Amino acid sequence: MKDEDPNTFMFGDKEVTIFRAKEPYKIPWNKNGVEYIVATYADESGDDYYEV
């Protein structure tokens, strides 16, 4: 993380970039050398929810 970019973090020795897009096809997968994808979402109201 060169300039404290809020969309990147280190996971071990790998830099991880966070993308936010409603349409996944708009993310430049090949340009960024994507190896793994983690999809997250919220309900329709935009509130996160968790079951305990």
User: 15-38: per-residue pLDDT in tens?
Assistant: 888 888 888 888 888 888 888 888
Which amino acid is located at 17 in the chain?
T
Query: Under the phi-then-psi rule, with left for phi > 0, alpha for psi from -120 to 50, and beta for the rest, what region is 14?
Result: beta
Query: Amino acid identity, residue 16?
Result: V
**pLDDT at 9 exceeding the cut of 70:** yes
Please determine, for residue 2, whether its predicted confidence score (pLDDT) is greater than 60.
Answer: no
Of 2 and 14, the one with more pLDDT = 14
Cα separation, 48 vs 42, in Å, equals 5
CA–CA separation, 37 and 4 (whole Å) = 22
What pTM was computed for the model?
0.52
What CA–CA distance (Å, rounded) separates 7 from 29? 15
pLDDT bin (cut points 50, 70, 90) of residue 12 is very high
Confidence at residue 1, expressed as pLDDT on a 0 to 100 scale: 43
